[in-house]
Structures are given as C-alpha cells and as structure tokens.
Structure 1
C-alpha cells in the first residue's frame, strides 16, 4: 500500500497542471476583455494578426482540452473512493447539471453584466457540465469500450463538419448543441450562442476517465510516467504527420512569406468545435506537461500552481468578475479609446494585466484553498 505522502505526490501533479492551464486561460480572457476592438476569428486570420497576439491566443488553446481531460481523470479517481457506480454516476449527473446552470446564470452575468440577459454564451463550463452528464451514462460501459467511444468521437467528428440544419429544422438546436457553433433564438428578447459544441468534448472526457487508472494506487510512478510520455509523443507525432499531409483533421495550412507565417499557418487549428488536430496537439502537450510536473513537482515554485488548481472553479468565477470590474473602471476613467470600447494598444499590456490579476487574486485563492482543505465535511464545497 502506498503511503499518504505517495498518494499526495501522485495527485499534486494534477492540481499543478490544472492550475497552470487556468492561469494560461486568464490571458485569453484578458484578451477577450481588453481587445474587443480586435477580435480573432477561428481559426485565426494570420494575414492580419501580429505574431505576439497570435501566439498569446495559441497557447490558450491548451486550456479547455486539458481541463476537460482532467475532469474525466478526476471523475475516475473520485470513483476509487466510491466503488458503487451508481453513486459516481449520480454525482456526475448532479455536478454536470450544476455547472450548466452556473454557466447560464452566474458566469454569463460575469461576461455581460446584463439582467435579464439579451445574450447567453454557452462556453467551457457549459461544455464540462454536459460532458459530465454524458459520462454519467457512458461510464457504465466497459473501460475498453469507453476508450473506443472517446477515440471514435475525437477522430471521426470532423466527418460531420459539412452537416448543417436551417433554424427551422427540428434538428437545428440539437445539432447546435452537439457540433455546429451558432446562434439559437430563444425569443424576441434573448438569444444563445453554443460557443462550445459538446460532442468532441464528450470524447475528451471519456478518454480522460479511462486514463484515470494510470493514477490508481496499483500503478507505480514508473508505469504512469511511461504511459504519459509514450501517449504524449504518439499524439504529437500523429498531429505532425496528419498536419503535414494536409488531408484530414482541420483546414489546410500553407507556406507563408516568412518562416514565422508558415509556422503560424501550420499551427492554425480550429477550436469551435475542436478539430481532431486541435485535440491531438493540445492533449499531447498536456500529457507532456503532466509527465514533466510528475517528475519536477518538488520545485517549490510549482506549489503555487497547485494552489490555483485546487479550487479552479472558485478562481474561474472570481477572476471573471474582477476582469469585468477592471474593464468598466478603465472605461469610466479613460473613456472608449477604441470606438465602442476601451482597449489596450499592445500585447505586452495584456501580459502586464495578467500578472497584476494573478498577484491580486492569489491571497483570496490561497485562503479558499485552505478553507476547503480544512472543511471537507461541508459537502457543498465539493461543487467549488
């Protein structure tokens, strides 16, 4: 039997990776707040986007896939404490519904500050919630069949890209939720955008749940490290091969006028919904980072990542409200210097704002992380 310290060591790397990706996510949310005057397409138009802004956006691609993968992995580990599958399934269902409601209410308000809202953006928390609901049913499958289901969804969903339905079709809303990012008119006053079509993310959470067994007590660190690095190299190798031949998995790339433009085109992948190539490079990179954190987590500076990763939803919510307040304050004090918006002039200002926000919120996050750790008897804390 592993000791408690071994178990903590085994799981701390997960919190570190979760903390890392949510910190990266903030830079993209700052971009979406203070660069409203320069919105980016999906995939990005590299002819009109400076490299600094492009790569600031590109690294943020890592966040949603890794976070949803870790959600599946964590669901498996949660199941190790509760051998009754019914209990696990019920937990995923209830938690998933909670996240969906949270997205529509608390989180959407943080983006819009409108009540009642005119627009509802169904984003990553919505996708995680629906994925958890799907996993609550799919986890009853045999592990090998669950893995196969996840792989087939991830590898095959781009075959559905050409399928679209008109707003008058009975299939329009189900398809918008599943695979086709679009607007859904709810009434004369309100519309909703399915920013994160959920089908590919269901594949990701299934694969994450299967990989959770690598963090089981029966796995030695050596076995786990071997699985992580082999899978990482395989996914990144498959991405490179498929991207090079330009046949399937995303929109084609092309040679640019400079080496940087060529690299930007090669890496210019589609997030909404996430293409096969998008998921290969992000999950491959995420597993490589997890392998690295497993081996280097004794570095003291990485402990700060674990603090953010221990309460990700709490941090996600407070950083959105902090960003909105910062933006409204800047707009009030400095005016709308970018037409309809207040905005930054340079990418370095995004990163400066990122550093300020992280330092500002860390004490609050640290306090709540300690509170959660010392009040495990409070069941409502499991939802944050």
Structure 2
C-alpha cells in the first residue's frame, strides 16, 4: 500500500475508534434514563442527592455529544476531499434535511413509543442536521470563514449569560432554539409539546471547528501531525482548567466549595451541557482531541471493535434507542406493571412510569447487554456498507 493511502486509512481509523468509544459510552446514559430508579425523580448531578459513582456515570457521557458533533465536522472535511465544493454543499444540505426529518419523525417515535406524537424531541440529531445545512451554505466560501464563524460561536456564545433575553413571545422562541434551549418546552397544541434540549448555534460552532480541524489531516508527516493534535488537545484542557478556576466567564453555573474535597472537585467538573457552555465544550473536547492523536497507530482487538461501531454511528444510534425502549417495555410488564400504567403524565416515555427502575448496578448490566446485542447487527451493516455502493448508504 502506498504511504499516502495508508496514512489516510490510519486517520480514518483513529476517528472511527474514538467515535465508536463515545457511541458505546453514550448508550450508558440512555440506559440510565430508561432504567435507573431515580432517573425521573432526581438529577444525577445534584450534590444533595447524588453519589460519586452516579455523578461519574452521568458525567462521563458528557463527552459523547461534543465528540460526535466535532467529528461530524471533521468527517465532512475529509468527505469534501472526494467532492467538489458544489457537490459537498448539496450533500451536506440534503443530509442535514434528512437528519431533521429523522429526529422529528423517527427518533421522537422511538423515544416515546407514542404514535400520536404528543411530544416531539429535539436533540443531538436536530443540531447536527441544522449545522450541516449551515455548513453546506458556507463550504462554497472558504475554510477560513467557517473556522472564524465557528470560533465566534464557540468562544462567544456565553456572552448571552449576561444579556437579558425575552422570556416569552416569538423572541423567546427564536433565542431558545438558536442559543439557550435547556429542556425548553414549546406548546403547539392542547396536548402537544416540543421538548428542545439542544440549542443549535453553540453546537454549530463545534461542528465548524471540527471541519477546520480536518485540515490537519492533510499533513503528510505522521509524527508532526500527531504532535500538533496533541498540542491542541492539551492546550484546550489547560484553557478549560484556567477558565473554570477563574470562575468568571464560560459557564453560568460557577463551581464552589462543597462538603469535602471530592465534592468540590465534582463541582469543578459540573459544567453546563444545556446549552453547552464554553467550559463544558473545552472540558470534553480537549481529551477527545488528545485521544485522536493517541489512537492513530493503535491496532488491537478492542480498537477494531470500537472502530466497527464508529463506522456505523447513525445505524447504531437509531437502533440502540429502539432496543433500549423495547427492553424497557419487557421489564415494564415483568416488574408487574399493567396497561393502566403505560401512560404516566410525569414521564415523556410510554411504558416508563416516573417511579420505575432498578439499581445502578442493574443499569450497568443492561448497558453491557445492549452493546452486546447490537454487535452482530452493526457488524453486518458495516460489512454491507463496505460491499455495496448504493447512493442512500451515504445518508446512514
């Protein structure tokens, strides 16, 4: 194999490994949402009620959305090397529109199992879709402009923490959708709601910077490239530590001294995801970038499995939510619940009453089970993609 081709393969491999790891970790949080006894009644990041293991169970999954969005931008750049600017622009906009449809029509149904769509969920697929559409509009300009806009959104959106924004009316809706959504509920009918968890533009900044990051993979010197990526990753980590320690800008929730050193440390790590603060994004993306450099040359059984999951992220994402909810339905009836308990007005999910669930240990067992069950389907789809070239495969 020619060195240049092998180099490209290694770059893609490192991205797939990391993406696969975060996809597996992501399933832990979603398993906890559906199966942990206190998932609907207590915040795992609330220091008055949480435990260190519960806190870290939630905290470790913070890395998933930033990594997934950032790497989506990087993958878009790499895909663009095989397309003209016009072709890439059209592809990104079409794929972004497709993701919006998937989020509203398919994922909302899988989340809730409610065919009446009383609740529409806007989550990470929603912001990836819009970010791809916006990127599709900009790829015809220059990578420099995309990076500048991304940096302004990434570093500057927390300025809004100090601005009095509209609390109602169209202005409130627009600002929430674009910048400040944090589980914001929009009512669009007597019994119909939109639950917006992900504000679009802060995440768009992440994707735009990920797109610019992709340019590093044009560096032909493997060692120099890895050193550059490591430097960037550690710089982001240091920036997070300093910014968080100063406690003035970058997160609306300041850290504080707690009852002991461990909980004070947890307070330091307890950055805001909804909407994603600058501290949150630096805390998560710094280690992600470091791992991108460290996994470039890794070749072992685990990296192979992780890369396999990472090559089919969309397929895995949709399927893992469906599997989790199906298991929830089974355990719902096994645990003694009946049809009268299917709908709980305090829960957005059917077959998942507010007071239902198991210990954290059982949650971990169910998480491993979900990953294990999905291995064969994901491996099959990975093989299918490698051996087929239908146009629609590029949208999955």
User: For the superposition of Structure 1 and Structure 2, which TM-score range results when normalised by the shorter chain?
Assistant: over 0.9
TM-superposition CA deviations, 1:117-147 (whole Å, max 9, x none): 1111100111111111111123234323322
- Asked if 1:263 corresponds to 2:255, the answer is no
Structure 2 counterparts to residues 288-299 of structure 1, below 5 A:
288-295=290-297, 297-299=298-300
Aligned to 1:356: 369
**What does 1:312-331 correspond to in 2, within 5 Å?**
312-331=313-332
The structure-2 alpha-carbon separation of the partners of 1:92 and 1:266, relative to structure 1 and needing over 3 Å to count, comes to same
Q: Secondary structure at the match of 2:194?
A: strand
- Which sits farther off after the overlay, 258-267 or 178-187? 178-187
CA-atom RMSD in angstroms: 1.9
Aligned residues: 378
Cα distance in structure 1, aligned partners of 2:42 and 2:204: 24
How far off its partner does 1:339 sit? 6.9
How many Å separate the matches in 2 of 1:370 and 1:91?
A: 23
Give the match's secondary structure for 1:121: strand
Q: Aligned runs of 1:1-384 on 2, under 5 Å?
A: 2-35=3-36, 37-39=38-40, 44-82=45-83, 84-161=84-161, 162-167=163-168, 169-181=169-181, 182-216=184-218, 218-250=219-251, 251-295=253-297, 297-335=298-336, 340-345=354-359, 347-375=360-388, 377-384=389-396
2:271 alignment partner, SS class: coil
TM-score normalized with structure 1 length: 0.94
Deviations 1:34-66 (A, max 9, x none): 126334878921221111111011010000001
C-alpha distance in 1 between matches for 2:111 and 2:320 = 11
What is the alpha-carbon distance in structure 2 between the residues aligned to residue 152 and residue 360 of structure 1?
A: 42
SS at match of 1:192: strand
The separation in 2 between residues aligned to 1:291 and 1:3, in whole angstroms, is 18
Mapped partners of 2:241, 2:44: distance in 1: 18
Q: TM-score when scaled to structure 2?
A: 0.91
Structure 2: give runs of 5+ residues left out of the alignment. Answer: 342-351
Say whether the 8 Å CA contact 2:42–2:49 is kept in structure 1: no
Distance 1:373-1:257 versus aligned 2 partners, 3 A rule: same
Any idea what the Cα deviations from partners look like across 1:300-348, whole Å, max 9, x if unmatched? 3210001100111101111111100100100101135997442012x22
Within 2, Cα distance between the matches of 1:342 and 1:277?
A: 34
- Given that 2:234 and 2:286 are in contact with CA atoms closer than 8 Å, whether structure 1 keeps it comes out as yes
CA distance in 2, matches of 1:197, 1:328: 30
Which residue in the other structure is 2:349 paired with?
none
Look up the SS of the partner of 2:227 in the other structure.
helix
SS at match of 1:294: coil
Shift of 1:220: 2.1
CA displacement, residues 176-206 of structure 1 (integer Å, 9 cap, x when unaligned)? 2111221111222311011101111110011
- Shift of residue 288, structure 1, vs aligned partner: 1.1
CA deviation map 1:97-123 (0-9, x unaligned): 100100011111111000121111100
